[in-house]
Chain A
Amino acid sequence: NAGVTQTPKFQVLKTGQSMTLQCAQDMNHNSMYWYRQDPGMGLRLIYYSASEGTTDKGEVPNGYNVSRLNKREFSLRLESAAPSQTSVYFCASSEWLLIDSPLHFGNGTRLTVT
């Protein structure tokens, strides 16, 4: 049982390049999330998907797009990468967007934009 799987683990981009971060979960969860984690800033929500077919903006959505491909997969796209997007990106899932549905995280994608 893999839980939440993120690919790639590491990526280096040049400014202006695009890329898609992939996330898949095998826990039959309905809700999925993308966070970024920066030193001194903690975890900040980029986008989330309450259920298949829906997506909503979080705290820091600018510069990103998401796709909920199916119940298992939720991808994050950077159309034109900027150095400010250098960060560690975490995907998470939960059974529902309920108060007592804990988040299960992947192990992150470490992205550097030069």
Chain B
Amino acid sequence: QKEVEQDPGPLSVPEGAIVSLNCTYSNSAFQYFMWYRQYSRKGPELLMYTYSSGNKEDGRFTAQVDKSSKYISLFIRDSQPSDSATYLCAMSAKRGGSYIPTFGRGTSLIVHP
């Protein structure tokens, strides 16, 4: 079992829909949770991060962490075609004095006009 599980999709939604992207994890030592966005033929870029359980909002994006269930989500409101990308969750725990993120497989999102 991988430490971080993420459904690869693809997830196809109409423009304006609310999108929910999710990851589960098995390592209770994970403390820091991130979402990266990756456009086709580009490198991933950090979208949002959070330390704690609860919600964090940034514009149309909301990151949610439930440590008791080992479950994190990214919500996108009023989705746009420009949101079409692969979304990777990532999380960090201390290993040997360092923090190196472990990534999920990524979920491919397609927002059609």
Question: Residues on A close to B: CB < 8 A?
Answer: 4, 33, 40-43, 45, 48, 50, 58, 90, 92, 97-108
Contact = CB atoms under 8 A, between A and B. Distances in A.
B100 A48 contact: yes
B43 interface: yes
Interface of B: 6, 8, 31-32, 34, 41-46, 49, 88, 92, 94, 98-101, 103-106
B82 to A, nearest CB: 18
16 contacts: A4-B43, A40-B8, A42-B6, A43-B44, A43-B103, A48-B100, A58-B100, A92-B43, A97-B98, A99-B92, A101-B99, A104-B45, A106-B43, A107-B41, A108-B41, A108-B42
Given A45-B100, A99-B31, A99-B92, A40 B43 contact: no
A58 B103 CA distance: 13
Main secondary structure of the interface of A (DSSP, over half): loop
